[in-house]
């Protein structure tokens, strides 16, 4: 089996996680899905291409999955519990696309045995590597920043009304990262992005942000949900837009540098 993830280990207390970057679907699962679903339209398109040069420039670690979120959603708890109780969402093993269409052919939806198998084969390896890398960096530097990189269509009625802000920071309402770090990030966004951002709005941080963020233990987790039209074309075949991407990479790069400096200072003081 192809590895569930790739991990580049960096030399700074910064780990960038891209849990919705994968696009592959195993043949045995693909044959049960609707043909159109194999286009994996709800991928966080090009986030690997977006963050790779930033990770290299900053000396950050970078972890990316191979498999699509349609196979198993790495940003959901392994027991399938709701992430946003009472609100529309897709689950650990998504059954519908963001437009509401069923992903699977009739009578071919995954069952509990499928869930257990996919968690073991795809979910656990990613999370095992993620946890180990966080601990490596925390042990070496005292404090570490986990940056959850995501993107989504700017208009997605299933999840929110109207148009989403371009930059959506989430710290689980302050539970996953220190308030001082969020202040630094929002101050920088004010300077470089004007009114194009929001903090702890519709996207407060998913399972990974909530699970691993532990400020009292030196682990600060921040989710960044970008609109896809800030760096690409949102219509199929979802092409990269070099001009828009360069401008947005500059903003996100500024944020990462600010956050890394803040975390490094905290680590050196311990």
Per-residue pLDDT reduced to its tens digit, 151-172: 999 999 888 889 999 999 999 9
The count of domains in the chain is 1
- Residue 125 near residue 4 (C-beta atoms within 8 A): yes
Q: In this model, does residue 217 exceed pLDDT 70?
A: yes
- Looking at residue 2, its pLDDT comes to 61
Q: What residues contact 173, with CB distance under 8 A and at least 6 apart?
A: 200, 204
Q: Quick one: DSSP state of residue 165?
A: P
205: left (phi over 0), alpha (psi -120 to 50) or beta: left
Q: What residues contact 31, with CB distance under 8 A and at least 6 apart?
A: none
Q: What is the pLDDT of residues 129-149, one digit of tens each?
A: 999 999 999 999 999 999 999
Q: What is the CATH number of the domain that holds 36?
A: 3.40.630.40
3 state SS of 144? strand
C-beta atoms surrounding 14 within 10 Å: 25
Residue 47 CA to residue 117 CA, distance in Å, equals: 27
Beta strand extents in 108-250 (DSSP E only): 144-152, 167-170, 197-199, 219-227
Angle at 164 between CA 162 and CA 169, to 5 degrees: 150
Domain carrying residue 233: 5-269
Q: What is the pLDDT of residues 167-191, one digit of tens each?
A: 999 999 999 999 999 999 999 999 9
User: Over pLDDT 90: what percentage of the chain?
Assistant: 90
């Amino acid at each position: 089996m192809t590895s569930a993830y790739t991990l580049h280990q960096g030399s700074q207390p910064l780990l960038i996680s891209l849990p919705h970057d994968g696009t592959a679907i195993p043949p045995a699962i693909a044959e049960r899905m609707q043909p159109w679903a194999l286009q994996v339209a709800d991928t966080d398109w090009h986030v690997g291409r977006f963050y790779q040069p930033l990770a290299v420039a900053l000396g950050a670690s970078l972890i990316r999955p191979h498999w699509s979120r349609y196979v198993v959603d790495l940003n959901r708890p392994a027991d399938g519990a709701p992430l946003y109780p009472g609100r529309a969402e897709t689950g650990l093993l998504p059954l519908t696309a963001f437009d509401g269409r069923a992903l699977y052919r009739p009578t071919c939806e995954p069952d509990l045995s499928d869930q257990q198998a996919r968690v073991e084969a795809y979910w656990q390896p990613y999370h095992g590597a993620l946890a180990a890398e966080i601990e490596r960096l925390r042990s070496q530097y005292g404090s570490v920043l986990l940056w959850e990189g995501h993107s989504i269509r700017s208009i997605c009625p299933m999840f929110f009304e109207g148009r989403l802000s371009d930059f959506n920071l989430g710290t689980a309402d302050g539970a996953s990262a220190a308030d001082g770090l969020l202040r630094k990030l929002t101050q920088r966004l004010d300077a470089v992005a004007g009114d194009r951002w929001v903090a702890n709005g519709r996207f407060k941080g998913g399972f990974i942000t909530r699970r691993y963020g532990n400020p009292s233990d030196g682990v600060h987790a921040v989710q960044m949900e970008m609109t896809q039209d800030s760096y690409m074309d949102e219509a199929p075949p979802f092409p990269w837009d070099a001009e828009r991407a360069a401008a947005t990479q500059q903003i996100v790069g500024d944020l990462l540098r600010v956050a890394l400096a803040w975390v490094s200072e905290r680590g050196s003081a311990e």
